[in-house]
Amino acid sequence: METDTITAISTPIGEGAIAIVRLSGEEAVSIVDSLFQGKDLQRVDTHTMHYGKIIDPETLEIAEEVMVSVMRAPKTFTREDVVEVNCHGGMVSVNRILEIMLAKGARLAEPGEFTKRAFLNGRIDLSQAEAVMDLIRAKTDRAMNVALKQMDGRLSRLIQDLRQQLLETLAHVEVNIDYPEYDDVEEMSHSIMAQKTRDVHQEVDRLLATAKQGKILREGLGTAIIGRPNVGKSSLMNALVHENKAIVTEVPGTTRDTIEEYVNVRGVPLRLIDTAGIRETEDIVERIGVERSRQVLQEADLILLVLNYGEDLNEDDEALIEAVRDMNIIIIVNKTDLDQKLDLERLRDLVPEHPVITTALLHEEGIDELETAISNTFFEGEIDTGDMTYVSNVRHVQLLKQTQQALEDALHGMEMDMPIDLVQIDVTRAWELLGEIIGDAVHESLIDQLFSQFCLGK
């Protein structure tokens, strides 16, 4: 276990009212106290904040006016002594404080090292540590609520409960192996193992069923807005974002490249991509944009296909419909303020399995219906972030799938009347895989890789 004192800037870089330089380790209090003109930080109560000035040890001049928070172990985020120096939020100010702390003996923290220490010191498990980054990156209230529940230990407690059920089952098997003369124990072991394995398998299935929604909440939906030029794609993006991000004109081909923007639609985070109108063109720049649009189609989770109410379907429209027919698509018939030329009945016959929404985006008509359709497409209405435990982490999903397979192998073995000690191998494997989710016996290199994805100062 590392015992050196680490430090980093814990607030975003840039101008602001306040910036924070955080220290954690055995020497955190003594390092700051040796630079602090104010109260004796070695003698103040824990979890208190104190006004004073930081003195530059080289010039002995005042470097900054600060508020210093002192938090003594073990009731801190890292379970080590933690000091946070609150200074003015300018670039020069906060970097000067950091440089002084480094010169006084602290080491610059690696990305995620504060959270890594919280994990290594037993304050949180690995799934809770990963939830910290999910919380930071959350783009909607729903995503934030899911991350908060996981950070609070909801997933951890569920995984621990499942592991305990398997552990109790394995204990019965050990009794059967060690004391084979007790026939009732053997019968009990078979019965309990079958039932407990089914129970855990059912719960793992339920968790995996939430993975798709959890991934959407965590990462957002890559959403491509496509259609022929001048059907209202940029107007749709502006309507969803609620500001003019894309240039809107009556000239076809105005959008020459893809434009990306995050937007919150009924709690669903969308990574909106406004594409160049897909058509055959001799314009070299526009042709590049069209090719990028086609590439975006292959990577999108959701397609918003925009058509013109004032024009009948042509070959380009039908080609687009055919290209995305098997994907998650919502058809948007825009410009209903024009005279109708598009045959809606024929359109619905072409895409009977996909929703068709009519809009007049310039008049902000149809936006509510579209947002409802987007939410229903992926969440079948409202998503419950209160009582449900969602799995959103790719690593967790893969481990749960492996656990599911191990449990299925165990159940199959019992159906084939395999010896109980052989079935035990698969159940033990499931127990170990669940343990990797919360960081029990996880490899050190994986821990380093996971925390390296964190921001500096967390």
What pLDDT shows up at residue 442?
A: 59
pLDDT tens column, 172-223: 776 665 555 555 555 556 777 888 899 999 999 998 888 777 777 777 778 8
pLDDT tens column, 300-309: 788 888 999 9
Mean pLDDT over residues 76-98, rounded? 93
Instruction: Supply 184's token pair.
Output: 């009732």
pLDDT score of 293 more than 60: no
Higher pLDDT, 132 or 338: 338
Distance, CA of 123 to CA of 104 (rounded, Å): 28
Highest-pLDDT range among 37-46, 167-176, 311-320: 37-46
Distance, CA of 305 to CA of 237 (rounded, Å): 12
pTM for the model = 0.65
What pLDDT shows up at residue 275?
A: 61
Q: Which region among 16-25, 220-229, 256-265, 332-341 has the lowest average model confidence (pLDDT)?
A: 256-265
Is there a contact between 55 and 35 (Cβ–Cβ < 8 Å)? yes
pLDDT score of 403 more than 90: yes
Mean pLDDT over residues 388-406, rounded? 85
What pLDDT shows up at residue 179?
A: 56
Spatial CA neighbour of 36 closest among 13, 59, 62, 12? 62
What pLDDT shows up at residue 77?
A: 93
How large a percentage of the chain has pLDDT more than 90? Answer: 31
Distance, CA of 34 to CA of 27 (rounded, Å): 11
What CATH code would you report for 129-210+391-439?
1.20.120.430
Spatial CA neighbour of 192 closest among 176, 214, 212? 176
What pLDDT shows up at residue 281?
A: 44
Mean pLDDT over residues 437-450, rounded? 70
Q: Which region among 124-138, 312-326, 331-345, 404-418 has the lowest average model confidence (pLDDT)?
A: 124-138
The burial of 38, by beta-carbon neighbours within 10 Å (0-12 exposed, 13-18 middle, 19 or more buried), is given as middle
Instruction: Supply 282's token pair.
Output: 């001799």
Mean pLDDT over residues 421-432, rounded? 89
pLDDT score of 138 more than 80: no
pLDDT score of 245 more than 80: no
CATH class of 6-124: alpha beta
What pLDDT shows up at residue 182?
A: 53
Q: Which region among 202-211, 382-391, 430-439 has the lowest average model confidence (pLDDT)?
A: 382-391
Sheet harboring 221-226: ordered strands across?
Answer: 259-265, 268-274, 221-226, 302-308, 329-334, 356-358
What pLDDT shows up at residue 55?
A: 94
pLDDT score of 126 more than 80: yes
Higher pLDDT, 142 or 158: 158
Average pLDDT, the chain: 80
Distance, CA of 375 to CA of 382 (rounded, Å): 8
Spatial CA neighbour of 339 closest among 310, 380, 305, 381? 310
Q: Which region among 200-209, 378-387, 417-426, 430-439 has the lowest average model confidence (pLDDT)?
A: 378-387
What pLDDT shows up at residue 289?
A: 47
What pLDDT shows up at residue 426?
A: 92
The residue ranges of every structural domain in the chain are 6-124, 129-210+391-439, 220-379
Q: Band of the pLDDT at 248, cuts 50, 70, 90?
A: very low
Q: Band of the pLDDT at 255, cuts 50, 70, 90?
A: very low
What pLDDT shows up at residue 252?
A: 40
Is there a contact between 278 and 310 (Cβ–Cβ < 8 Å)? no
Instruction: Indicate the residue type of 245.
Output: K
How large a percentage of the chain has pLDDT more than 70? Answer: 79
pLDDT tens column, 337-374: 899 998 888 888 888 888 999 999 888 888 889 888 88
Please list the residues that pair with 88 across neighbouring strands: 18
Q: Which region among 68-82, 98-112, 289-303 has the lowest average model confidence (pLDDT)?
A: 289-303
pLDDT score of 145 more than 80: no
The burial of 102, by beta-carbon neighbours within 10 Å (0-12 exposed, 13-18 middle, 19 or more buried), is given as middle
Instruction: Indicate the residue type of 400.
Output: L
What pLDDT shows up at residue 257?
A: 41
Higher pLDDT, 182 or 52: 52
What pLDDT shows up at residue 45?
A: 96
Mean pLDDT over residues 62-91, rounded? 94
pLDDT score of 260 more than 60: yes
Q: Band of the pLDDT at 411, cuts 50, 70, 90?
A: very high
Residue with tokens 């814990």: 10
442: which residues sit within 8 A by CB, 6+ positions away? 126, 435, 436
Spatial CA neighbour of 271 closest among 329, 217, 324, 211? 217
What pLDDT shows up at residue 363?
A: 85
Does domain 220-379 fall under CATH 3.40.50.300? My reply is yes
What pLDDT shows up at residue 445?
A: 63
Q: Band of the pLDDT at 453, cuts 50, 70, 90?
A: low
